[in-house]
Amino acid sequence: MQDKPTWFRQRRYLHFDEPLNFQKATTLVTNPEAVAAHSFWPLIRFQIHTTKIKQDKTTGQLDCHPKDREISYAAHGDSLIFSFYAEALSKLYEAVLGQQGLGDCVLAFRSLGKNNIDFAKAAFDEISARGDCVAVALDVTKFFDNIDHAQLKQRWMRLLNTSSLPRDHYAVFKALTKFSFVDRNDCFAALGVSVHNPRGGGRHRLCSPADFKQDVRAAGLVKVNQHKCGIPQGTPISALLSNIYMLDFDAAAHGFAKRQGGLYMRYCDDILFIMPTSLAEKTKKFCIAEVGKLKLTINPAKTDTCSFVKKGAAQACNQPLQYLGFLFDGKRILIRSAAFAKFSNRMKRGVSLAKQTMRSRNKAKNAKGAYERQLYQRKILARYSHLGKRNFLRYGYTAAQMMNSKEIRRQLRPLWGRLQTAIAKER
């Protein structure tokens, strides 16, 4: 049996349409005329509420403040179209990276067989090898929200080597720039669908087309992006388009760093230059100017200049470099303390929720005269201890091994005790 192409992935979430089988999906996505005439459904949008924990550079205290990120997911047919065109554009994009020598500069959203640990280690190894140097780390403000549509279209056409977008590509472009969306909670409430159990009652789609027109569109729940900038985060093609948008900047930044005897790397909106010490200010000014050409801005609050100096056999710095979740001071590699605070808060909430569930179920058992059950710990241990396969601790131990960091292992040791303490608490 022949393997399905990588663009085909049958997702099971509820949307305004039903999942397509492979035959129907192929008929749709491989027909340019069908794509050009396709009516894209509104995206469903929801917010991820997180607590941003940041260490104050002067006091060393951890500051906590809420941070919301909007995520959108497309209807099943729309998502398959996006995936198919992302795969086609990705091949062209990778060819350009190869031609321009940018393959080692662009790190995110590519199939490189590597992860954040590899990229951070490569940066730290480069700094160690150089001895005296400066690391300039910069961050683009609200990257996806500010991607300019006209410039994105130009780069898309250039990738296709055309003077205008073909009708099918234009339909995809329009769906991602003049996109429409509905708020998930408002939409589900209007349709009488539970956010916590959306598939209850055997639903295979959110509603019929007639109910969509009456209960969603006529109710004014559909919003349209009226700006000349911004693409949604969460679709199968959004990440690739963000890289395509940055092509000119990547080429300019790589050329600038290479001419000055430095190194340039970018992970999505995180930009890093490793340069000769005297070029810190010149590098920042260059980056701010080049990013400005894309109608983007650099966040000054997230700009760090870390100077490294070789002193004998050791390397010292004026402040540790924060990069992709790690800290490097020339001698030690650590995981940012904010990550541990975030994990501990998440662990405590998870254990508390498990206890609430246990009490609720035991109350029902008592009513039936059945025996109470003790706290079910398998999921807790899988999520919050070294016994799990994919969690923060496993990531930390992998990082400690790859980076040969005793300090990271030392950071991880107290977490088992904290978990046991949270489990042992009465409430």
User: What gap in Å lies between CA 134 and CA 282, rounded to an integer?
Assistant: 12
Q: Is the dihedral of CA 320, 322, 325, 330 positive or negative?
A: negative
pLDDT digits (tens, 9 = 90+) for 240-291: 999 999 999 999 999 999 999 999 999 999 999 999 999 999 999 999 999 9
Structure confidence at residue 54 (pLDDT): 55
Residue 52 confidence (pLDDT) above 60: no
Q: What pLDDT does residue 197 have? A: 85
Q: What pLDDT digit, counting tens, does each position of 304-329 carry?
A: 999 999 988 889 999 999 999 999 99
**First-residue to last-residue Cα distance in the chain:** 53
Q: How far apart are CA 369 and CA 378, in angstroms?
A: 25
Confidence check: pLDDT of 63 > 70: no
Per-residue pLDDT for 45 more than 80? yes
3-class secondary structure, 78: helix
Mean pLDDT of the chain: 92
Predicted confidence (pLDDT) per residue in 108-125, tens digit? 999 999 999 999 999 999
Q: Is the pLDDT assigned to residue 356 strictly greater than 80?
A: yes
Q: What is the value of pTM for the model shown?
A: 0.90
